């Protein structure tokens, strides 16, 4: 059975980011793909300590023993990853950025990735601003950096004009719900 991990970078358990990620999960489950959702905000993940232990030993392992060890195990086992994060100050949340920095063990010194390209990743971003082009550069460099690990970047969506509790929930925006569903459905195709 194929496995997909869904990482949520929003601190809100029932915010729009989670709702869209659950819609992607529906697309995955319909194809018999096993999923596991992890809220990064529930984990204790320190920032990268720049010890270069992974580089000196040339291993895809991290010397920092915290909850990122669990995420590393998931990354080793998964066939696909959905990363869902709100945009905070033009880029992903701090929880999501901490995760990215701790993916450093999968990038060797000469930038040769350590994860096989058979593993796929797609992204769901949510933001308040209605203009989906506003944060493209921050989003683009984030996705590029994730790809340095070797994960093949498959697709992404930017869900705009969302503000949980202030604006209508994303469940009322069929186009965005459909887009998230397709992100899940197409991830491993
Ligand atoms: C600290 C903070 C910073 C934010 N910065 C931005 C921003 O730069 N641009 C934007 O469009 N929305 C910004 N937002 C709004 C969120 O990206 C948006 O409401 C998102 O959909 C929240 O996801 P959630 O429903 O999962 O909490 C910010 C929200 C917070 C709390």
Residues in the ligand 1 pocket, defined by CB under 6 Å = 10, 12, 15-18, 86-90, 126-129, 162-164
**Integer Cα distance of 5 and 141 in angstroms:** 22
For ligand 1, pick from 88, 90, 142 the residue to mutate: most ligand atoms within 8 Å of CB: 88
- Domain span holding position 124: 3-186
For ligand 1, pick from 22, 37, 96, 127 the residue to mutate: most ligand atoms within 8 Å of CB: 127
CA 54 to ligand 1 centroid distance, Å: 33
pLDDT of residue 104: 97
94-101 vs 136-147: helix crossing angle, rounded to 10: 30
Q: How many domains does the chain have?
A: 1
pLDDT of residue 144: 97
CA 166 to ligand 1 centroid distance, Å: 12
- For residue 31, the domain's CATH number is 3.40.50.360
* Average confidence (pLDDT) per 10 residues, the chain, 189 residues: 98 98 98 98 98 95 97 98 98 98 93 94 98 98 97 98 97 98 98
Q: Do the Cβ atoms of 82 and 155 come closer than 8 Å? A: no
pLDDT of residue 165: 95
pLDDT of residue 110: 86
For ligand 1, pick from 13, 86, 136, 163 the residue to mutate: most ligand atoms within 8 Å of CB: 86
**Integer Cα distance of 83 and 11 in angstroms:** 14
CA 127 to ligand 1 centroid distance, Å: 5
**Integer Cα distance of 151 and 133 in angstroms:** 24
CA 88 to ligand 1 centroid distance, Å: 5
């Amino acid at each position: 059975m194929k496995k997909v991990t869904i990482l949520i970078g929003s601190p809100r358990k029932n915010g729009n980011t989670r709702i869209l990620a659950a819609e992607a999960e529906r697309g995955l489950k319909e194809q018999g793909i096993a999923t596991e959702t992890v809220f990064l905000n529930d984990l204790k993940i320190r920032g990268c300590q720049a010890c270069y232990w992974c580089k000196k030993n040339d291993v895809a392992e991290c010397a920092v023993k915290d909850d990122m060890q669990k995420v590393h195990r998931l990354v080793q086992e998964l066939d696909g990853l959905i990363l869902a994060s709100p945009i905070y100050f033009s880029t992903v949340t701090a929880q999501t950025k901490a995760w990215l920095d701790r993916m450093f063990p999968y990038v060797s010194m000469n930038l040769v990735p350590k994860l096989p390209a058979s593993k796929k990743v797609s992204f769901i971003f949510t933001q308040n601003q209605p203009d989906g082009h506003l944060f493209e550069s921050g989003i683009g460099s984030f996705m590029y950096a994730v790809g340095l690990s070797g994960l093949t970047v498959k697709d992404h969506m930017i869900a705009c004009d969302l503000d949980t509790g202030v604006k209508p929930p994303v469940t009322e925006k069929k186009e965005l719900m459909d887009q998230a569903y397709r992100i899940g459905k197409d991830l491993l195709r």
